[in-house]
Amino acid sequence: MMIISFLFASCVGVVEVQETKTKPSPPPHAPAHGVRAKYQYRYYPSLGIYYDIDRGIYFYLESGIWKSSNALPSNITISLNDYVVVDLDTDKPYKYYNKHKKQYPSHSNSKNKKPKK
């Protein structure tokens, strides 16, 4: 019996799991040095509209609800020169709409304008 117990005990391995603490990541609007944002948008301040450059999707407010589409409704016309490029780590740029609205006033009218501080 003792031999069987010894053989059984020697066959059972012990696995040790180590927990590692990770540093909190920066917010989506301020990526860490060397880390690129995953999404790039054109934000049109005069209309509060986002355009995802890579996916070809517009994000716009309609009746208080954010909608997304590959084309804007016919009643919305954007000025092609009235945008700023915004790099974010989210596929929902409208989460930062209030921030962008303050940062890029609608009278900016020039592309790639630097944000207000």
**pLDDT for 15 beyond 50:** no
CA–CA gap between residue 55 and residue 64 (Å, rounded): 24
What pLDDT, on a 0 to 100 scale, did the predictor assign at position 62? 92
Q: What is the pLDDT of residues 85-104, one digit of tens each?
A: 999 999 999 999 999 999 99
Which band of pLDDT confidence, cut at 50, 70 and 90, is reported for residue 2?
Answer: low
For the chain, give every domain's residue range.
37-117
pTM for the full predicted model: 0.62
Nearest CA-CA partner of 99 in 116, 114, 113: 116
Q: What is the pLDDT of residues 65-82, one digit of tens each?
A: 999 999 999 999 988 888
DSSP 3-state assignment of 59? strand
What end-to-end distance do the CA atoms of the chain give, in Å? 78
